[in-house]
Amino acid sequence: MISKQQMLRALAGLLAAAAFMFFSGESFASGTLNVYTIWSERYATAVFDAFTRDTGVKVNFLRFPSGEVLARLVAEKKNPQVDVFFGGIADAFEAGKKEGLFEPYVPKGAEAIPQRFRDPDGYWTGVAVNPICFMTGGEFLRKHGLPAPRSWQDLLAPAYRDGLVMADARTSGTAVSRLFSLVLAMGEDKAFAYQKKLDGNVQQYTKSGAGGALPIARGQAAGGIFFLVDALEMQQTGYDIVISYPAEGVAYGVEAMGLVRNGKNPELGRRFLDWAATPAMQRLYEENRINLIPTHPDVPLRNPALDMSEVRLLDLDIQWSGENRMRLVERWVNEVVK
């Protein structure tokens, strides 16, 4: 029988071939930076266009969920197609360290970013914090006479039967952070027992973390578990959704950047990482309505929707998360979705 790892590697080989076609020719020319990112097209374009304006360096980027980026980087290890992975969740970088996917590099000025948002060996630098949250349709709550969920247990209510949409842990960093939230809040065995019950209320597991946001916003699903950045995007677009947090607490993702080992343009990669470690880059969040919490202490947080002072945030040991990421995903596949 073919293992899940073998299947992922085979798929990644096909994806790598596609990436090679995209990043061929002009993109390997001097003066062009190649990047994988998990950020949305709008967010990534705002950042990379600003870098190009400031430096004159063109950026080619492709966007995929964290799990897919990791699979691609593994498949491309002998012939990397990108120079930088930008915006990935830190546990993905930790998992990639074991595979030898990244080159240690500490960007200039990165020492100003708190240590808990940086790898001590320089393999990744955190540029944003993104907590897990509940997103629920306002019309759904009114129709069923329900308050917004304030506990993980609330999502087990019969009203949510076949109504929840959330990401697939095999491909999505959002889903992996959901697993970490539950393990931190409940302990591992209780977290998996809970997820088996929760699965009965799940309508669909989506490939990407944001994939279920629009169906909820349009009333096609009741609610789900997301990163705050995706829920706020729906709310700011004008959709009738409600954001809430479980009293038991949630984990938060540290969105990071790092240099891909043996990339074609390492100097451009380092130049980008230096630029992206500055307060000026993180000020782009507010200027472009990028709903992420800055990691740089010199960047003030003015959006009240990003104020986490009343939310119980559960600190995650990022090294542990990287070491246990695949094990927890495999357990989720074997015990929950089967």
> What is the rounded average pLDDT of the residues 28-33?
67
pLDDT score for 137: 98
pLDDT score for 65: 86
pLDDT score for 278: 97
Token pair 């948002």 is found at 117
Instruction: Indicate if the pLDDT at residue 20 is higher than 70.
Output: no
> What is the rounded average pLDDT of the residues 194-211?
95
State pLDDT tens for residues 168-189: 999 898 999 999 999 999 999 9
pLDDT score for 67: 84
Dihedral Cα 146, 149, 150, 153, nearest 10 deg = 110
214: buried, middle or exposed (CB in 10 Å: 19+, 13-18, 0-12)? Answer: middle
pLDDT score for 109: 94
Q: Which of 20-34, 98-112, 279-293 has the lowest mean pLDDT?
A: 20-34
Instruction: Indicate if the pLDDT at residue 122 is higher than 80.
Output: yes
Token pair 């929707």 is found at 305
Q: Domains in the chain and their CATH numbers? A: 32-129+253-308 (3.40.190.10), 131-251+325-336 (3.40.190.10)
> What is the rounded average pLDDT of the residues 67-89?
95
Q: What percent of the chain has pLDDT over 70?
A: 91
42: buried, middle or exposed (CB in 10 Å: 19+, 13-18, 0-12)? Answer: exposed
- Collapsing DSSP to helix, strand or coil, 292 comes out as coil
**CA pair distance 203, 205, nearest whole angstrom:** 7
Picking from 18, 60, 62, 66, the residue whose alpha carbon sits closest to that of residue 41 is: 62
**Torsions phi, psi for 157 (to 5 deg):** -60, 145
Higher pLDDT, 30 or 229: 229
State pLDDT tens for residues 237-286: 999 999 999 999 999 999 999 999 999 999 999 999 999 999 999 999 99
**CA pair distance 69, 72, nearest whole angstrom:** 5
pLDDT score for 31: 78
Cβ atoms of 256 and 126 within 8 Å: the answer is yes
The tokens describing 238, both together, are 């004008």
> What is the rounded average pLDDT of the residues 101-117?
97
List all residues 6 or more positions away from 292 whose beta carbon is below 8 Å from its beta carbon: 128, 129, 130, 229, 255, 285, 306
